[in-house]
Structure 1
Amino acid sequence: MTSLYVDRRDVHLRYDAGAIVFYEHNLRSATVPLAPLTRLIVRGKVTLEAALLGHLGQRGVGVLFLSGRNGDPHLLLGPSHNDIQRRVTQTRMSLDSRFCQAYARHLVGEKLQQQITSLNELRQHYPAQRLPLTSAMHQLQTQQQRLPQAPNLDSLRGMEGAAAAAYFTGLRAIVPASLGFQERNRRPPRDPFNALLSLSYTIATAEIAMALHIAGYDPCIGYYHQISHSRQSLACDLLEPLRPLIDRLCLRMVAQQTLTAQHFSTAGPACLLGKAGRVRYYQAYEENARPLRRAISAQIKTLAQRLNPDMPEPATVLEAPTADKISDWDI
């Protein structure tokens, strides 16, 4: 078990003898050992004692709080890597415009290639939708060919945006019509598939930030996503080439009907995944998260080599030794 999801009202968490102890209505209801955990995701009316937070921090267990009706993310991180030189190098290179542009071009190029690969695979599984998927592929390839000529980061962002519009137009052809997906939208997402994408990107960004922190990098000092108040810019950077992998996970959930339109509801302009849907989502996410976590580790090693080729590769702790067992906890 590497992840623990706590999504329930009126639960109080305490620390006792190397374990998280759950109390409901002042009665002890469950116990989960701390040793296998690498991340804790909390949503709902949940309280945690300071002693528990202290032990989570000591063990390097990142805590993601999804607060409020929309599940706004807030991340707590434990101790970082002791080699401060990594952050010094990271910060210095963020001021080098040539490095920022070269690394950004690498990220966008890898993202577009992954999107093209995904669309090509989808053409084999959905022959009836081959035309819109092929059209989207061709538009992505056009933007991919233009990347070497991008003069600055704004130009890269424009190409990425055009590619994303074409990519999601292709996906629209295979997302079940019952989910009402027409285009990518967010803040808030307005249909079930966009809600699913946004939740998955949020959790993945938190996982990337945790892994960067453990490896000795500041998740907020980025290159493609420049420094901005309250934004984990470097985590956002590394998310870009991983988005197609996350998209495939979301497509799998709806294709296998792990989640259907009935698991979502609307509140004003926002579309929200309900409690029953979240239980199914957490399980499905964990069952399919290992390739994503391997990809996060690979991205961090690539970044480390670009920042300082002579520096030893950072260790990124994404899986505990007992990771073969996936948590099915939903407390």
Structure 2
Amino acid sequence: MGFRSVCIENRCRCSYSGGYLVVTGEAATTKIHLSEIASLTLCTTKVYVSAYLMSELAKSKIPVTFCDEKCFPIAESLPLHGAHNCVTRVESQMDWSLPSKKRLWQKVVRDKIAAQSEVLQLMNAPREAKMLKGYAEDVRSGDPTNREAAAAALYFSTLFGASFNRDQDSDLNASLNYGYSILLSKVSREIVSRGYLTHLGIKHQSDFNQWNLSCDFMEPFRPFIDLTVIQSGLSEFCTEMRRLLIDVMNRDVSFDEGKYKMGSVVSLYIQSCFDALERRGTIDDIKMYSML
């Protein structure tokens, strides 16, 4: 499994030779073996990528994220075949029971709110953090009272001020959205690699969103992105911020009585969710990470 999150920021040509990604720039040429690469992000539109390289990256199941002229991710390559038994997996996915999906969504929302509470604890807001813990305990199967939205309102106003709005055009929102897109990319890869469809969610059901299931499973990890942005100390959506967020899956967190890379935690969490839906495990088997 690769461990490098490779980011291309300057004009160059990316090609393939003998198992290596070859990056030919104006001043130098760099080679990285594909076995070392976890993901490749093209942060500029001034990059030429060979079809041969794209083919080899797909064979190695290495995702490539393409960014627009503002350095914001707009597309990603994923292999067409994620597992040898993908037809069986998709058929099973379409048969997941509504009660099972509701119970899993309850767990996902509780974990998300618990993570938001931890962020507020770390940001010295103990009263609001305690309130969020109460919200998490109140979440019922399927979250019919929308505790998720109530928690989000308290969380963001405490974290960023009463005037903060997620729809604002700001450097802060640009950084958050960039981090969320990196997270969405990781979650989508985990889903596809197991042979499931990202289109069919357990809660998100939009006809216009091909990432419904990804949007479901990424929720408990959003607060980790928020904390990363806050702790960076950077007020602008700059190159340093993008580099920090691209590497976010390599950061350590507490999980299952040990320290794990966030990328590994995401993978284990999603596998546990599938195990619960497929009745290979239970909701109680799904372990949550901690930032404390």
TM bracket, shorter-chain basis: 0.7 to 0.9
**Aligned: 1:278 with 2:256:** no
Q: For 2:153, which of 165, 169, 172 is the aligned residue?
A: 165
8 Å Cα contact 1:209/1:219 also seen in 2: yes
Deviation, structure 1 residue 213 = 1.3
| Structure 2 stretches lacking a partner, 5+ long | 253-259, 282-292
**Aligned pair in 2 of structure 1 residues 287, 108: CA closer, same or farther (>3 Å)?**
closer
Higher relative contact order (CA 8 A, sep 6+): 1
Structure of larger gyration radius: 1
Look up the equivalent residue of 2:224 and give its one-letter code: L
Look up the equivalent residue of 2:261 and give its one-letter code: P
C-alpha distance in 1 between matches for 2:121 and 2:151: 15
**Aligned pair in 2 of structure 1 residues 139, 183: CA closer, same or farther (>3 Å)?**
farther
Match of 1:80 in 2: 82
Q: For 1:288, which of 251, 256, 263 is the aligned residue?
A: 251
8 Å Cα contact 1:103/1:224 also seen in 2: no
1:110-159 per-position Cα deviation (integer Å, ceiling 9, x unaligned):
11122223323433xxxxxxxxx2342244244334322x6x56x35x32
C-alpha distance in 1 between matches for 2:241 and 2:8: 14
Deviation, structure 1 residue 87 = 2.1
Match of 2:121 in 1: 120
8 Å Cα contact 1:212/1:218 also seen in 2: yes
C-alpha distance in 2 between matches for 1:253 and 1:47: 31
Match of 2:207 in 1: 228
C-alpha distance in 1 between matches for 2:71 and 2:190: 25
Match of 2:9 in 1: 7
Look up the equivalent residue of 1:2 and give its one-letter code: R
**Aligned pair in 2 of structure 1 residues 32, 291: CA closer, same or farther (>3 Å)?**
closer
Q: Tell me how large the CA RMSD over aligned residues is.
A: 2.6
Look up the equivalent residue of 1:162 and give its one-letter code: A
**Aligned pair in 2 of structure 1 residues 110, 82: CA closer, same or farther (>3 Å)?**
same
**Aligned: 1:308 with 2:272:** no
Stretch moving more, 74-83 or 190-199: 190-199
Q: TM-score, normalised by structure 2?
A: 0.81
Would you identify which runs of 4 or more consecutive aligned residues in structure 1 move more than 6 Å? none
Match of 1:192 in 2: 171
Q: TM-score, normalised by structure 1?
A: 0.73
| Structure 1 stretches lacking a partner, 5+ long | 124-132, 174-180, 255-259, 265-272, 312-331
Match of 2:286 in 1: none
Matched residue SS, 2:261: helix
**Aligned pair in 2 of structure 1 residues 233, 14: CA closer, same or farther (>3 Å)?**
same
Match of 2:164 in 1: 183
C-alpha distance in 1 between matches for 2:58 and 2:98: 35
Look up the equivalent residue of 1:185 and give its one-letter code: R
**Aligned: 1:136 with 2:136:** no
Deviation, structure 1 residue 252 = 2.1
Deviation, structure 1 residue 291 = 3.1
Deviation, structure 1 residue 14 = 1.1
